């Protein structure tokens, strides 16, 4: 094997760094562009619910918007009272077509997060015409599994009503809030949540999908503008997914294909195959490591929810690929007696990664449901393309191998054979006796 020179390695590393810089710049640009999109107004069945029509009849200044997750839509209007407080009317609805579940909406005076939220929760149970609606204080103890009971909150709530509009399939909550001055209407931290498990009238833990984790934003009640916390996280997840799919899921397998099929057989491209193999592995490692680091950051931001298997596999993949990259620097020479052991280790770890990487990528894609169809089919297409390339090269490899074997056999059969005939007076060859060699041409 011909090792690349230091100059060649420096060029490939420079190319890898330039590639990662360009991709990160494009990803950052996509965040800026997508963050400037206008808000989505309410539409569809929500505008035809009885609760929304009643709210609209009360005032002509009702705002309405589609929330970013859980298929929820939100309407509100407000005015200042004589005591310099804010009277806020809210209506939130979502498609809750099951016979059991709950819908929650609340505001947090400190941060846009679930812990510390003053919430209004409507519980829907079978054989109950009117949903049960109460106020709740959401604390850390609730997320640790403590019993979740109704409690008073630090502002007045009136006219709490839960509506199960079966005609249009919307489950809605309406309430009137009287907010003290500490709640800033120009940057109100509001959160919402949907769950499908109820114990009596007690709401139980909701799902830990990404849609449930993203259900929070900072809303300006006057203009309807919002700082969507979940939207920024979704863009970061997109970058995380793109970097890992390109780095771990595409370039790493491509480097393996080059090393297997262009080293000697069926096509010998020596030493070009090594440079391309090295470049694919290094660029893939840089991109994958950047995506892995971003995934760790996202996991740190999600303090109360962790996707354990996806996280553990990601750490293993990073560790194994790091060992593979280090293997380039500590590779024994061809004459070294340890070279065969190095080859076994390098090949075993490489093929193990080829199994682990697609499994973990699909685990990550599964977390994006229900908006994961595009991701799934895109990666399916990448794997199918790589599989077709491998299958074609494998067929060519075996075809060339069998053809050369057949040609070699034919050549051996048609070549002159030397027949050695030994004569002995007693019909046996004695030690030291001479023999005659006759060449027979076939």
Residue 429 DSSP code = P
DSSP 225-276: -EE-HHHHHHHHHHHHHHHHHHIIIIIHHHHHHHHHHSSSSSS--TTHHHHH
CA-nearest of 279, 240, 256 to 19 is 279
Can you read off the two tokens belonging to residue 417? 């054979």
3-class secondary structure, 156? strand
Give the list of residues 6+ apart from residue 66 with CB closer than 8 angstroms, or none: 39, 40, 41, 42, 43, 72, 73, 74
Can you read off the two tokens belonging to residue 368? 């994006």
- HSE-up of 87 (CA within 13 Å, CB side)? 8
Q: Is 232 annotated as a binding residue?
A: no
CA-nearest of 40, 98, 97, 100 to 74 is 40
DSSP 389-404: HHHHHHHHHHHHHHHH
Distance of alpha carbon 154 from its chain centroid, rounded?
39
Q: Looking up tokens 């060029």, which residue turns up? A: 11
Q: Is 190 annotated as a binding residue?
A: no
Helices 339-367 and 252-261 meet at what angle, rounded to 10? 140
Q: Is 48 annotated as a binding residue?
A: no
CA-nearest of 226, 280, 215 to 250 is 280
* HEC readout, 86-98: EEEEEEEEEECCC
Q: Is 240 annotated as a binding residue?
A: yes
Q: Looking up tokens 């833990």, which residue turns up? A: 205
Beta carbons of 417 and 442 less than 8 angstroms apart: yes
Can you read off the two tokens belonging to residue 18? 């330039």
Kindly state the helix (H) or strand (E) to which residue 316 belongs, with its residue range. helix 308-329
Where is the binding site for heme b, in residues? Answer: 240, 277, 310, 346
Where is the binding site, in residues? Answer: 240, 277, 310, 346
């Amino acid at each position: 094997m011909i090792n690349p020179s230091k100059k060649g390695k420096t060029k490939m590393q420079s190319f890898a760094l330039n590639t990662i810089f360009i991709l990160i710049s494009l990803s950052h640009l996509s965040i800026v562009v997508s963050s400037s999109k206008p808000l989505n107004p309410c539409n569809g069945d929500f505008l035809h619910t009885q609760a929304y029509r009643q709210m609209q009849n009360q005032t002509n200044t009702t705002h309405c918007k589609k929330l970013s997750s859980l298929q929820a839509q939100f309407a509100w209007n407000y005015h200042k009272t004589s005591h310099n407080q804010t009277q806020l009317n809210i209506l939130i609805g979502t498609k809750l077509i099951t016979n059991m579940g709950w819908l929650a909406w609340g505001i947090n005076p400190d941060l846009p997060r679930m812990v510390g939220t003053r919430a209004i929760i409507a519980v829907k149970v079978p054989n109950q015409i009117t949903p049960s609606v109460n106020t709740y204080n959401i604390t850390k103890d609730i997320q640790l599994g403590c019993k979740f009971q109704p409690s008073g909150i630090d502002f007045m709530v009136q006219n709490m009503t839960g509506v199960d509009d079966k005609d249009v399939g919307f489950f809605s909550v309406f309430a009137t809030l009287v907010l003290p001055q500490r709640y800033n209407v120009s940057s109100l931290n509001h959160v919402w949540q949907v769950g499908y498990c109820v114990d009596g009238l007690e709401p139980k833990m909701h799902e830990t999908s990404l849609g449930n984790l993203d259900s929070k934003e900072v809303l300006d009640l006057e203009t309807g503008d919002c700082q969507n916390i979940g939207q920024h996280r979704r863009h970061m997840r997109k970058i995380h997914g793109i970097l890992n799919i390109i780095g771990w899921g595409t370039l790493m397998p491509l480097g393996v294909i080059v090393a297997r099929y262009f080293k000697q057989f069926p096509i010998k491209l020596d030493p070009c195959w090594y440079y391309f193999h090295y470049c694919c592995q290094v660029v893939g490692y840089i991109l994958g490591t950047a995506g892995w680091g971003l995934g760790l950051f996202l996991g740190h931001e999600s303090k109360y929810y962790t996707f354990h298997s996806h996280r553990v596999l990601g750490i293993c993949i990073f560790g194994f690929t790091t060992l593979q990259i280090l293997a380039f620097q500590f590779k024994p020479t061809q004459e070294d007696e340890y070279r065969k052991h190095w080859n076994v280790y390098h090949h075993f770890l490489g093929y193990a990664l080829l199994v682990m990487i697609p499994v973990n990528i699909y685990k990550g894609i599964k977390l994006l449901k229900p908006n994961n169809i595009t991701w799934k089919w895109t990666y399916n297409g990448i794997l199918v393309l790589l599989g077709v390339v491998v299958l074609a090269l494998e067929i060519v490899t075996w075809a060339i191998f069998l053809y050369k074997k057949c040609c070699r056999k034919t050549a051996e059969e048609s070549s002159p054979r030397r027949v050695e005939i030994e004569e002995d007076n007693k019909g046996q060859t004695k030690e030291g006796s001479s023999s005659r060699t006759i060449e027979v041409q076939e």
